Amino acid sequence: MKIDENIITEFWEHIENQDTKIAKKIYNWLNKDNLSSIIEDRGVFWTELTCSSSTMPDYIYEYIKNWGKERGLQWIYDLKLQ
């Protein structure tokens, strides 16, 4: 079980190996240093932007969420409070 690991490199590799229009748009957005990290902690993951003025378009947000879910991870904001 992974604890507090930055998996942004894995996401970069995934995007670089995709030949789709959306992947190219995400690659260009990533190249502008908008996303600092994708953190995985015990099966839960979330993103961290580089600064408070960075914004993530909805299509990238959804893409990252789906990418993580395909890896068996749970998006932090989808957790149900006990």
15 exposure class (CB count in 10 Å sphere: 0-12, 13-18, 19+): buried
Domain that holds residue 12: 5-78
CA distances from 72 to 27, 30, 56, 66 (A): 23, 23, 22, 10
> What's the structural domain count of the chain?
1
Other CB atoms within 10 A of residue 40 CB: 20
Q: What is the pTM of this model?
A: 0.88
CA gap 76, 5 in Å, rounded: 14
Tens digit of each residue's pLDDT (9 = 90 or more) over 15-73? 999 999 999 999 999 999 999 999 999 999 999 999 988 899 999 999 999 999 999 99
CA gap 39, 41 in Å, rounded: 7
